[in-house]
Structure 1
């Protein structure tokens, strides 16, 4: 319980540092601008990153929720606490690494973060919330499943952008449009896979399609225009969202 609270505070502090509001350097300007909205063809446009405010609010809400007396006795929360704390610490570590200017190391950390979130997602599916009351079930669905679904979906597209930024930083420029096309198709397939294994859970699809839509906006307007990548990202966003909704309806009909 305490571990999650401390980890959430560290994550939020790291996010504050990464915003550059008072101390630190904004992520878009850190590491020589390697992670800016125009650095690569798969970088989401700037407004996409506002989703972090929702995720951080969710992390704080979860830290409070899991500390409540009823949740302290929850078998589900006992299973989730340590993996969730790991995602929060890795989040802060990623920001510190980027502030340090280490783009390759940031890829290592974000891949570890993505893997940790995948573990949390699997545990959420394997250990559904206890049906104690309608209100408690609704809160748990939003605060636990919703927060970490959004977190996973966003970090999925962020991992693509981060990896591409590292490749660009070491001078890899071959087939930029083809590379972007391939990784966006893979991102869409990952979104459909997550929807399939989760029975149509929507949170991760919302954040992944959000990120893809802002990749599309960034490539169809602004400084780094590429219409092939832009329309591929737009189509990928639609496929993830519509495909997840279809799988959700199918899963409910089967139940």
Structure 2
């Protein structure tokens, strides 16, 4: 057998192995996530950690309905796991770079759910920050090389874009939960205040402004999927603060405005005349 044939066979074996391990990671992570979420007798996430992860725990906690986005993200991860096993996915140099990070993101998600079951808010935040860093790394890799097809844009960029956007919002909520726990503020306290007498509403509005700025920054990258997830999370923070036991009208209005700003930035960047004239065709498929 010629050396070239040996090299090709070795490369094919390596690509199959990496793709198979990624797919196995997806299945294992989703199974662990199901167990860790309390679906089979454990504590539901909103009731874990003393209620600090519930929709009324802090001023920036989204309403429970917001978490339905996980169904879309999980379906996307399964679709990605299958797509990257196909010939186009196995051959993609872009996917060779992304696969280890993709597998890590899935396993970290399962780890976060298990940390919540253990009731450790510090552990949940550490895992969440690690997950956010991994997803940012995936985004950078995807931005560096445009997708080779619309299928890749949907399966890879779309899935991990939604994942990144939602984790940006979840990190805000998780951080606020840990802060509330550390300061001894009880979940659902109708008038929480920070040290120095600073009203929680003021801090919440500032945090929402930062979240909107992150969304605008992603819009400038031309990525739609993260914007949708960020706007979704912000909209449900608005819904949770405009009504219910932890109603804070100022925070609700600020969250709604932040969601609108993120979506508006995406629309303006997407349809800007200069973008239409100068964006290359492959980038049009960018999720």
Q: Larger radius of gyration, structure 1 or 2?
A: 2
- Hey, what's the Cα distance between the residues in 1 that align with 2:276 and 2:125? 37
Query: Which of 75, 89, 93 is equivalent to 2:107?
Result: 89
Q: Please state whether the residue corresponding to 2:46 is helix, strand or coil.
A: coil
Deviation at 1:69, TM superposition (A): 2.1
- Hey, what's the Cα distance between the residues in 2 that align with 1:24 and 1:50? 19
- Kept after mapping to 2: 8 A contact 1:17/1:25: no
Unaligned runs of 5+ in 1: 131-136
2:163 is equivalent to residue 151 of structure 1? yes
Unaligned runs of 5+ in 2: 1-18, 186-192, 280-287
Residue 284 of structure 2 corresponds to which residue in structure 1?
none
Query: Which of 26, 50, 53 is equivalent to 1:35?
Result: 53
Residue 215 of structure 2 corresponds to which residue in structure 1?
191
- Hey, what's the Cα distance between the residues in 2 that align with 1:11 and 1:226? 36
Q: State the Cα deviation string for residues 49-87 of structure 1 (Å, max 9, x = none).
A: 000000000001100100112221111110110111111
Q: Please state whether the residue corresponding to 2:147 is helix, strand or coil.
A: coil
Q: State the Cα deviation string for residues 77-136 of structure 1 (Å, max 9, x = none).
A: 101101111111111111111111100111111011111101101111112122xxxxxx
- Hey, what's the Cα distance between the residues in 2 that align with 1:14 and 1:208? 25
Deviation at 1:2, TM superposition (A): 2.1
Residue 205 of structure 2 corresponds to which residue in structure 1?
181
Deviation at 1:18, TM superposition (A): 3.9
- Hey, what's the Cα distance between the residues in 2 that align with 1:191 and 1:179? 19
- Hey, what's the Cα distance between the residues in 2 that align with 1:126 and 1:71? 17
- Kept after mapping to 1: 8 A contact 2:237/2:255: yes
- Kept after mapping to 2: 8 A contact 1:202/1:245: no
Query: Which of 230, 239, 244 is equivalent to 1:208?
Result: 230
2:153 is equivalent to residue 141 of structure 1? yes
Query: Which of 41, 46, 49 is equivalent to 1:23?
Result: 41
- Hey, what's the Cα distance between the residues in 2 that align with 1:240 and 1:206? 8
Alignment of 1:237-252 (within 5 A): 237-250=259-272, 251-252=275-276
- Kept after mapping to 1: 8 A contact 2:55/2:62: yes
Residue 234 of structure 1 corresponds to which residue in structure 2?
256
Calculate the aligned-residue CA RMSD, in Å: 1.2
Q: Please, what TM-score do these two structures have when normalized by structure 1?
A: 0.94
Deviation at 1:16, TM superposition (A): 1.3
- Kept after mapping to 2: 8 A contact 1:191/1:205: yes
Deviation at 1:14, TM superposition (A): 3.0
Moved more, 68-77 or 53-62: 68-77
Q: Please, what TM-score do these two structures have when normalized by structure 2?
A: 0.83
Q: State the Cα deviation string for residues 189-227 of structure 1 (Å, max 9, x = none).
A: 00111111x2x2211000000000000000001111001
Residue 181 of structure 2 corresponds to which residue in structure 1?
169
| Structure 1 segments (4+ residues) deviating >6 Å | none
